[in-house]
Chain A
Amino acid sequence: MSHAADHHDDHHHGPATLSDGFGKWAMRWISTTNHKDLGTLYLWFSFLMFFVGGAMALVIRAELFQPGMQFVDPEFFNQMTAMHALIMIFGAVMPGFVGLANWMIPMMIGCSDLALPRVNNWGFWILPFAFTILISTLFVPGGAPAAGWTMYPPLSLQTSNAFPMLIFAIHLMGISSITGAINVVVTILNMRAPGMTLLKMPLFVWTWLITAYLLIAVMPVLAGAVTMLLTDKYFATSFFSAAGGGDPVMFQHIFWFFGHPEVYILILPAFGIVSTIIPTFARKQLFGYDSMVYATASIAFLSFIVWAHHMFTAGMPIAAELFFMFSTMLIAVPTGVKVFNWVATMWRGSMTFETPMLFAIAFVFLFTIGGFSGLMLAIAPVDFQYHDTYFVVAHFHYVLVPGAIFAIMGGVYYWLPKWSGVMYNETAGKWHFWLTTIFVNVTFFPMHFSGLAGMPRRIPDYAVQFADFNMIASVGAFGFGFSQFIFLWIVIQACRRKGEAATARVWEGAHGLEWTVPSPAPYHTFETPPVVSDAEVTAVHDEPAHA
């Protein structure tokens, strides 16, 4: 291949660095088709958005520290809640998972790159542009979108100049997600090394295959929904106006047909990461590999038939309420299979508690709490009380922060030595973990109580009986936010190659093709398909008890 010939011309073989000059360095990142470069870009973008969205969360928590109006006016407060959600979902969590997929899937299945590397570049570079459009709405007349990330009409149609910017930013993010997802599916289906059969793939690859399928299925539906909003506002259509025979509730149906699979898009890759980390540090095979795959597929299927549980109070025939209540409860079955499998994997294992494992164990505990509160919300008659209260806020933050975000953080700690070639600072990692875990609970656990007592979501002021719990939550939020600077420092240190050199295997109990290449992973890996040895794949596979 051509870069073998380049080797002699170029002093340091490989991609341009800053020492080659800024222009060359910038062009390297702009034009890169390398899955590792793009994975890095995705992860840094995700990290940046995590801080931007987090700063908005702190504006919200500062305002809610005490009852009464303190820092911001209500309109700006509402802009913060809508923007915080949009940025965290589409800017932090999804690109975080795509970054991990970029880095790890080709190395896990033994191929050189994603199937469509230029499309991969396109999928990434759309995001900075899309978020420039979205975040710049803060500075246009009328301010940013303030009708929540769900954009329910007719309220969202009152958004001023920010409105078309919001819609087109979502269209661009949709292009990014769909092209990225097609790339992942095609890579997994077409590029596996010989011998890497579907049921030998690491679970992270499996969960991403199913996630990508969900993305391709539902992102176009979101595009359709926001397009209808756009034409309702500017081109006189009446999809969501009863006067013309449409229905505002119809938007909720279309939106949540996207939105519920979307929440599994935000959690299935997390399941894959946790299923990768736990066997490594329990030094045992993953318990119930096949059932994990089937459970993931079942969750994906069920995600298409539960959407209206977000709308129990919006007005639906009783038969529909019952159907969506029971279908939602069914999801507890495959999810329970997973939780039991993780626990069974740890059962009698030789456990050690490095930072990735701590995050994975915290995930199992805290995600399960979020799952249980979800089960409570699934009960339609009870949901009439819970709907639009802080109980819902507590629920989805438990599944998204100590769920999705903890998995991303655990994954970063787990694979950082493979990416950078150096071990991160374990003491700092433990500090980061414990502060994060304590503060995440201080932040979100009291919200269950204020929610059950009736505190509504998305309000800048509240009745005085909620004051204590809000004060605790705000303290926790600031503690959580500032703890993340430890994480930032750890990652920067690793990027600067500060730390002990990592071995190829990195973790004693780690198995998989990604651990057969050196640390840091060379710029190009598996340019010819590797031999897939049983030692690397059976370790993640369910074996009979005598093994």
Chain B
Amino acid sequence: MATHAAIEDQYFVPAPSWWPFALTAALFVLVHGIVGYLNGTGFGTIPSIVGVIGVITMVVVWFRGVIAESEGGLYGAQVDRTYRWAMGWFIFSEVMFFAAFFGALFYARMYSLPWLGGDLPATNEVLWSGFEFTWPSNGPAALGGAFETIPAWGIPFLNTCLLVASGVTFEAAHHALKEDKRGRTLAFMVATIALGAIFLFYQAEEYVEAYSHLNLTLGSGIYGSTFFMLTGFHGMHVTLGVIMLTVVTVRIAFGHFTTDRHFAFEAVGWYWHFVDVVWIGLFIFVYVV
């Protein structure tokens, strides 16, 4: 362990790297593609495809590099603490991103719709005389036409159970990893991934149902806006979470991590629990209440 001790005494400073610049360049191309698509300039598809491929490539290259450094024993305890702090603050930033959309939901339900509906009589009279506040609502102009909502105690409740269960199976995997029982770890990780994937499948099914039978779309006024943006961004995070779970599972299969040093695994766990907690908030405030 002599090398190990030497690492503990020094700061880890990586060599110069072209990865971040290349990642940024790929993002730049991707943005041009999306802008071209939104502006209808006819110059969107190719930069979008090139950009997506570039971004994915660079993320893979960067993370492969970090994994190689980690497995190569270059990271001491200080680097480990750095990653812990950084992951924690990153999740905090994610919390604030969701807070903006939850804020929009609460503001619409608690203020703007009741005001339009007569809590502020002048607003009601001048803007939309005769409009009454109900929830769910697509607003006084009934944008998108009449719609139905997804009942909370069907698929959404099932999905809640799936995600909570996946949190439990992840922790079981974590305990198994700490006890160096790789087979059990892998089994529980596969279960976690499967639960996440089934969640995503049901979520997609719910969207199909909403669009094809319930007439609930992004255009269904403020209800459709908040419903799809909140569940959509959450679904994107679950997708990312499933990818991350898959990566650490593969790493376990390749013999990465030790019983006491496996922060990448724990970081994915933090992220997965965060996604879980956001879902519980969604289930309560979007579906039930």
Q: Is A126 in the interface zone, CB < 8 Å from B?
A: yes
B237 to chain A, nearest CB (A): 13
Beyond the given A34-B16, A238-B222, A245-B108, please list 5 additional residue pairs across the A-B interface where CB-CB is below 8 A: A122-B20, A216-B96, A217-B92, A237-B228, A239-B222
Q: Decide if the interface of chain B is mainly helix, strand, loop or mixed.
A: helix
Kindly list chain A residues whose C-beta atoms are within 8 Å of the C-beta of B19.
118
The 8 Å CB contact of A190, one of B13, B78, B99, B128, is: B78
Q: Is the CB of A33 within 8 A of B13?
A: yes
B213 to chain A, nearest CB (A): 19
Q: How large is the interface on B (under 10, 10 to 19, 20 to 34, 35 or more residues)?
A: 35 or more
Q: Is A530 in the interface zone, CB < 8 Å from B?
A: no
Q: Is the CB of A220 within 8 A of B93?
A: yes
B38 to chain A, nearest CB (A): 4
Q: Is A373 in the interface zone, CB < 8 Å from B?
A: no
- Contact sample, A vs B, 5 pairs, CB 8 Å cutoff: A30-B18, A113-B13, A237-B218, A524-B13, A528-B10
The 8 Å CB contact of B97, one of A132, A221, A528, is: A221
Q: Is B15 in the interface zone, CB < 8 Å from A?
A: yes
Q: Is the CB of B78 within 8 A of A191?
A: yes
Which chain A residue shows the least CB distance to B228? Answer: A237
Which chain B residue shows the least CB distance to A35? Answer: B13
Kindly list chain B residues whose C-beta atoms are within 8 Å of the C-beta of A257.
100, 103
Q: Is the CB of B225 within 8 A of A129?
A: no
Q: Which of A122-144 contact B (CB under 8 A)?
A: 122, 125-126, 129, 132-133
Q: Is the CB of A247 within 8 A of B107?
A: yes
Known contacts A31-B17, A185-B89, A257-B103; is A238 also within 8 Å of B143 by CB? yes
Q: Decide if the interface of chain A is mainly helix, strand, loop or mixed.
A: helix
Kindly list chain A residues whose C-beta atoms are within 8 Å of the C-beta of B21.
30-31, 121-122, 125
Which chain B residue shows the least CB distance to A16? Answer: B16
A529 to chain B, nearest CB (A): 8
Q: Is the CB of A122 within 8 A of B23?
A: yes
Q: Is the CB of A245 within 8 A of B100?
A: no
Q: Is B191 in the interface zone, CB < 8 Å from A?
A: no
Stretch at the interface among B28-36, B157-165, B202-210: B28-36
Bound CA span A440–B148, Å: 60
Which chain A residue shows the least CB distance to B79? Answer: A115
Bound CA span A357–B135, Å: 60
Produce 1/0 per residue, B115-144, CB < 8 A to A: 010000000000110000000011111011
Q: Is the CB of B93 within 8 A of A178?
A: yes
The 8 Å CB contact of B225, one of A1, A30, A218, A231, is: A231
Number of A-B contacts (CB under 8 A): 219
- The CB with the most chain B CB atoms within 10 A, among A125, A165, A242, A527, is that of A242
Q: Is the CB of B85 within 8 A of A129?
A: no
The 8 Å CB contact of A244, one of B10, B13, B14, B139, is: B139
- The CB with the most chain A CB atoms within 10 A, among B41, B94, B108, is that of B108
Q: Is A161 in the interface zone, CB < 8 Å from B?
A: yes
- How many A residues have CB within 8 A of the partner chain? 73
3 nearest A-B residue pairs (beta carbon): A224-B100, A245-B139, A122-B20
Bound CA span A244–B140, Å: 6
A434 to chain B, nearest CB (A): 41
Q: Is the CB of A246 within 8 A of B139?
A: yes
A7 to chain B, nearest CB (A): 15
Bound CA span A182–B104, Å: 26
Produce 1/0 per residue, A100-125, CB < 8 A to B: 00000000000111011111011001
The 8 Å CB contact of B86, one of A28, A115, A237, A245, is: A115
Q: Is B9 in the interface zone, CB < 8 Å from A?
A: yes
A38 to chain B, nearest CB (A): 10
Produce 1/0 per residue, B139-156, CB < 8 A to A: 111011000000000000
Kindly list chain A residues whose C-beta atoms are within 8 Å of the C-beta of B140.
242-243, 245
Known contacts A112-B11, A182-B86, A245-B140; is A239 also within 8 Å of B104 by CB? yes
Q: Is the CB of B82 within 8 A of A245?
A: no
B121 to chain A, nearest CB (A): 13
A402 to chain B, nearest CB (A): 32
Q: Is the CB of A186 within 8 A of B139?
A: no
Bound CA span A132–B25, Å: 12
Produce 1/0 per residue, A221-262, CB < 8 A to B: 101110110011011111101111111011001100100000
Which chain B residue shows the least CB distance to A129? Answer: B28
Q: Is A396 in the interface zone, CB < 8 Å from B?
A: no
Q: Is B269 in the interface zone, CB < 8 Å from A?
A: no
